[in-house]
Copies of this chain bind each other. A is one copy, B any other.
Amino acid sequence: MADILHRIGVEHSSPKQVYDALTTLEGLSGWWAEKTSGNTDVGGVIEFRFGPGGFDMKVLELDPGRLVRWEVVDGPPEWIGTTVRWDLHQEDDFTIVLFKHEGWREPVEFMYHCSTKWGTFLMSLKQLIETGQGAPDPRDVRISNWH
């Protein structure tokens, strides 16, 4: 099993602001995929759409201002059954986001791609809160021929 890890700090923000960007359709569509729909409550499924494909995430756990956990219930075969975990806490004037996409069965080339892509989307989340403007799909940062 292999995991993707990332850490960012969102300046001049509170964990509540970051939590809202991870748990509302408006927030999620501002940094990850403009086409985001579904139910963001625990047990609900959120549908993220990127051009032809996408991911369906079941909300496993919510602890306001501290923790968000999703399970991938539909999407690319490599993603199904993996989980995504967001831990939030405050340090000085930063909200620290610890991100973990865990449970990849094999470190396939697609995992390398997704690791870098998650990094750029986390920077998009940071920018959304710091500046009011993220870079969600389809305005996301292109990193390679795989987009």
A7, B113: Cβ atoms closer than 8 Å? yes
A123, B126: Cβ atoms closer than 8 Å? no
Question: Smallest distance from the beta carbon of A28 to chain B beta carbons, Å?
Answer: 19
Size of the A side of the interface (Cβ < 8 Å), in residues, is: 34
Q: Tell me the complex Cα distance, A94–B111, Å.
A: 19
- Given A91-B145, A92-B145, A145-B91, does the pair A7, B98 have CB atoms closer than 8 Å? no
The interface stretch among A35-43, A53-61, A70-78, A114-122 is: A114-122
Q: Of B5, B96, B111, B143, which contacts A115 at CB under 8 A? A: B5
A8 at interface, CB cutoff 8 A: yes
| 1/0 contact string of A118-147 vs chain B (CB within 8 Å) | 011011001000000000000001011110
| Chain B residues within an 8 Å CB radius of A5 | 2, 4, 107, 111-112, 115
B116, A143: Cβ atoms closer than 8 Å? no
- Given A107-B3, A115-B119, A119-B119, does the pair A8, B143 have CB atoms closer than 8 Å? yes
| Chain B residues within an 8 Å CB radius of A141 | 123
| Chain B residues within an 8 Å CB radius of A94 | 144-145
A115, B9: Cβ atoms closer than 8 Å? no
| Chain B residues within an 8 Å CB radius of A119 | 6, 115-116, 119-120
The 3 A-B pairs of least Cβ separation, nearest first, read A9-B144, A119-B119, A7-B112
